[in-house]
Amino acid sequence: MLSVFYFLKKSYFLVGPSFFVYPIAKTKFSSVINYFIKNFYIYLVISKKIYSLLLGHSLLESNFLKKSKINIKRLSYIFLSGIINFTALIFTKYFINNLTFKEIRINYIGNIFNLIIVLLIIIGSIVYLLRYKVIENKFFRSTILLNALALVPLIFILMITENFFTFKNTFIINFPLKKALIGILFALHETFLLLLVFLIWIAFLEEGQIYFLRSLAGLPVAVSLMLIFAYGYTLLDKRENIKEKNYDLGVVFGAAVWNKDKPSPIFEGRILKAKELLESGRINKILLTGGSAPGELSESETALLFLKKRGIDTTKILLENKTKTTIEQVKYLKSEVIPELKIKSLLLISDKFHLSRVMDICSFFNVQADAVYSGHILTEKNSFNYRLKESVALLFFWFFAI
């Protein structure tokens, strides 16, 4: 109990100041946390006095506490490094998306996952100390090293975001190199943290020994379990919630273009659903979204040509041809469409496998919208393939907001 007290005391002096130095301290959320920490510390000080009176001052200065001082200090560093990694990741996620600290919601599903991983590191270190009564040099160094390595990719992401490096619109498989590098760096960050989780818990189970190879072998298992969870999420999640009302705007999310100017069957299904809703009076206007890969007509322009051939009144169609991802399209809705057109009701049109991610992205960016399925039917094989790809994209968004 006394060891736990000293651990919390040391952790307070290490972590507490960071809430004031770091800009997040200005937010309501951090103020609540800091208030809790300060008052909890006061409670602990009172507890210490009670222990001193009941058990005698000599107990606090016992040989056991002197010997455990180094362990408590090391545990404090592990705790602090975990908090730093979590804070740095949250900051990076919101910074690259031009969101303010006031828009951070810890209860968002992706932030909860990030927090769980850090808690596994901290709790694993605590139970390791409780079981073996000592934090060995190798365990401590490995933990601090992996925590430090996890921060390096985040630093490079911020540098890329702030244009320290130039990419000149380079593409890899029709995907911008800049975004690909950011995704790789985020994945590297999470790899270090997951490796650390396995390292700590395997050490706890295996007599305190450090096994890097076993920890590495655990990574595919962790990724597979997360993919299964995400796949089940897209399969079970029912996001169609169209109301019995007229919507100011129906948004068609872009998809693949075939032969440079022909919408793919999936894209065609979304366009036809928008046409049906417009003609039935459920939506007042259509927004077609989606840019283009080099040498192709943009997704939105392809959709516009498709609708023109079917006699749609083009005065009721809006066009956006710069965005290349679903995230960019939702950000465009938030920053330009909704405020400029004073949109009060928004209906998103896409496929079942896609809408789970679309609505989670809207939740992250605080965009209020309803959703409707396009009605396009996929074969079982195609449905599996699309859901699997969407599951990967969903995991990247949950963890990194990309």
The 10s digit of each residue's pLDDT in 193-214 is 999 999 999 999 988 788 888 8
Count Cβ atoms within 10 A of the Cβ of residue 384 and give its class: 0-12 exposed, 13-18 middle, 19 or more buried.
middle
Residues 101-128: tens digit of each pLDDT: 888 888 899 999 999 999 999 999 999 9
- pLDDT, position 67: 58
Residue type present at position 153? P
Alpha-helical regions (H) of 206-293: 212-236, 265-279
Residues 6+ apart with CB under 8 A from 105: 111
Instruction: Say how far apart CA 148 and CA 57 lie, in whole Å.
Output: 38
Residue 224 is encoded by which pair of tokens?
Answer: 């597979």
Is the pLDDT reported for residue 35 higher than 60? no
Residue 58 is encoded by which pair of tokens?
Answer: 């000599």
Residues 333-350: tens digit of each pLDDT: 999 999 998 999 999 999
Structure pTM? 0.78
Count Cβ atoms within 10 A of the Cβ of residue 63 and give its class: 0-12 exposed, 13-18 middle, 19 or more buried.
exposed
Query: Looking only at Cα atoms, what is the longest distance across the chain?
Result: 90
Residue 236 is encoded by which pair of tokens?
Answer: 């079970």
- pLDDT, position 174: 63
Asked if residue 291 lies in contact with residue 267, where contact means CB atoms within 8 angstroms, the answer is no
What's the distance, Cα to Cα, between the start and end of the chain in Å?
A: 43
Sign, Cα dihedral of 91, 92, 95, 99: negative
Instruction: Say how far apart CA 102 and CA 288 lie, in whole Å.
Output: 31
Instruction: Say how far apart CA 402 and CA 262 lie, in whole Å.
Output: 28
Grouping H, G, I as helix, E, B as strand and the rest as coil, residue 68 is helix
Residue 63 is encoded by which pair of tokens?
Answer: 């040989």
Q: How confident is the model at residue 313 (pLDDT cuts 50, 70, 90)?
A: confident
CA-based nearest residue to 368, from 324, 334, 325, 399 = 334
Asked if residue 264 lies in contact with residue 258, where contact means CB atoms within 8 angstroms, the answer is yes
